[in-house]
Amino acid sequence: MAVEVILPRVDMDMAAGKLSRWFKEEGAEVKQGEALFEIETDKAAMEVDAPASGVLRGVSAKPGDELPVGTVIGWIAAADEAFDPAAARKSAPADAAPAPAPQAEASASAAAPARTAEPAAPGEGVRATPAARRKAREAGIDVATIRGTGPHGRIQTEDVEAAVAAAAVAEARPASPEKAPVAAALAIPEIAAPDVAKFGPVETQPLSRIQRISGPRMHASWVDIPHVTHCDEADVTDLDAFRRTLDAAAKADQTAPYRVSLLPLLMKATVAALKAHPSFNAVLSPGGDALILRRYWNIGVAVDTADGLVVAVVKDADKKGVLEIARELGALSAKARAGKLTPSDMQGAGFTISSLGGVGGTSFTPIVNAPEVAILGVARAKMTPAWDGEAFQPRLMLPLCLSYDHRANDGATAARFARLLAETLGDMRRALL
């Protein structure tokens, strides 16, 4: 019997995706697990594996088509199987409606009438790593409601962490009828769009896919989180001299040349500051009455691409050296600019760094990326005369802008965090303490 080839859900908020290319032509033999086609999500391009072995038949989508999640775009049939694409299309319910999101599936199952059969155990038949199952049990989440990003949809620990964080954000929003009037009263009125064309020529420029998805999220973060930004500066004169020696050696690497920017060193110093102030590497509990402190240090880094900013995540930054982080950052940045970041590459961050050092500026106020509780903005370092007690000396000063959720941290804590970070950048030996 022919197996349906379906446009899958590869992002928790994904409702549709664009088919960018087929790796196999109709009539070609395919093997289960090999790359069959590629789709573009809001922030990445993903290769989708063949669900079975056989011959690709009845292809109904072409590169460039944007389709709802769950759409049947072809079939894989046995080589000797009599296959009628028209009949198969009529019997394919997935073409009529997209596959529901995991949350919708949970709601539908809760509203469905009771069955006489004994219900299956939670998570039964779901592909998940043992560590992911354990973490889901500890968090009180049914593993069957989580979307996996591992091979063949296998659920990994970072998928559970993303579900926990999403649940925390959802719980923080008004959900009951009693709270709804308060939310409505606090809603910001929409600004009416004026008819600007009556004043002169105009041109409409569509937002990129990244801008369309990240814009509402940033707006929600800005509205939901009481933002405060604390500014400081770090003397990185000696650190930059050390970086230049590392960069020269990295560029001269005979096997795989790479670059060492200030960012990997900044990430190591940030990890040291986060360990000393774990409330900045945390998430608010669903009830908003506690902080869930992360005991892992995954650092998100904003990457500038042609379509907008995306955040790539360096996992376990505390366990990696500066050179290893530099290589990983180079690889992640290349994937981001090519639109090849996977969901796993963009999930699991506990703290984000947004660096505008390569562009310019003296300071800025970055928006916290919920459910995180803080983000560090870094502007361009500037050579400044500094008084050493006897004379002015040229020193390279790096502006630091720490935006944070005032519910999780107050101004004094933020000032201490920023000062420790600045002192660590001034003397990286502090990162060893």
- For residue 144, count other CB atoms closer than 10 A to its CB: 19
∠ CA 174-180-181, nearest 5°, is: 135
Q: What is the residue type of 337?
A: R
Ranges assigned E (strand) in 211-288: 227-235, 282-284
The residue assigned the tokens 């707006």 is 219
| Amino acid code (one letter) for 389 | G
Q: Is 306 in contact with 337 (CB distance < 8 Å)?
A: yes
- The DSSP call for residue 143 is G
Q: Using an 8 Å Cβ cutoff, are 212 and 221 in contact? A: no
Active site residue 227: no
The pair of three-digit structure tokens given for residue 77, joined into one six-digit string: 């049939």
- Catalytic position from the list 152, 219, 230, 406: 406
**Residue 300: alpha-carbon gap to chain centroid:** 8
Q: Which residues contact 150 (CB under 8 A, 6 or more apart)?
A: 127, 129, 156, 159, 344
Show the tokens assigned to 427. Answer: 């003397």
User: How is residue 408 annotated by DSSP?
Assistant: T
Among the listed residues 343, 433, 331, the one whose alpha carbon sits nearest the alpha carbon of residue 9: 343
- Phi, psi (5° rounding) for residue 47? -85, 135
Residues annotated as catalytic are 406
